[in-house]
Amino acid sequence: MTSIIGFILAGLAALAAGAINALAGGGTLITFPALVALGIPAVAANITNTVALSPGYLGGTLAQSKDLQGQEKRLWLMIPAGVVGGIIGGVLLLYTGEKIFRSLVPFLILLASGLLAIQDPLRAWLLRRAEQNKAHTPSEKWAMIPVGLAAIYGGYFGAGLSVIVLAVLGLVIEDSLTRLNATKQAVGFAVNVSAAIFFLFSGKVVWPVAIVMAIGALLGGVLGGKLAGRVKPATLRWIVVAIGVVVSIIYFVRG
């Protein structure tokens, strides 16, 4: 995967993913299949994708920094769980053989598509729960366990991680959706960056492609920010879900 056309296609896929992540989420469902289609082995494609897209999570976290104020105690619990889980997921990925991981890919993509599809109903449910449920909730320390488990998935594959983390936080923590969403963003950043740093030493990062993709993703994030309000996130989300389902079917058929 050294041709100019290959680099251009990888950059365009990352550009689209950056914009999609900024508007609706699910960019990995675009970039990962694109990298595999360009001839990069599945494990290396997943690792390269994680490294390339991880800087984009910083922008999302900084954008919600105001909503993170006053959550320092909570973050001291959740971020370490995210870091440890992300690294464990990365270790599991490296110890998964190429053949086994490739057989898991259609299931992972289908799972991520399903998670993306329920994002809006999940947010609506969390809003209703915040308004109606005033009962005592368990200690936030308990959230470290499910958040850590979600982080393992995030380090292993990543697509749909934000939906899982938001669901976990909403079930265990009593707070506004806005603040929980900011916490989710910080956890996602911790998971992806810790996994990406771990992958730096794996020897499986396709660096020329990762650099091109990182630039494309950052530009895409800017583009997505400018398109906010002009493009309906729900419509874009369903397009990504449809793409994910089609891609998973293709992988199932190919075996």
Residue 56, pLDDT score = 74
Q: How far apart are CA 255 and CA 249, in angstroms?
A: 10
Dig out the tokens for 126 from the structure.
């969390």
Going residue by residue through the chain (255 aa), what tens digit of pLDDT does each one get? 568 899 999 999 999 988 887 776 788 889 999 999 999 999 999 999 999 988 777 777 777 788 888 888 889 989 999 999 999 999 999 999 899 999 999 999 999 889 888 888 887 887 777 666 655 555 677 788 999 999 999 999 988 888 888 888 887 787 887 888 889 888 988 999 999 999 998 999 999 999 999 999 888 887 876 776 677 778 888 888 898 899 899 888 876
Q: How far apart are CA 179 and CA 241, in angstroms?
A: 26
User: How high is the pLDDT of residue 220?
Assistant: 86
Q: Are 120 and 234 in contact (CB under 8 A)?
A: yes
Q: Is the dihedral of CA 88, 85, 40, 54 positive or negative?
A: negative
d(CA 241, CA 81): 28
* pTM summary value: 0.86
Gap between the Cα atoms of 228 and 187, Å rounded: 23
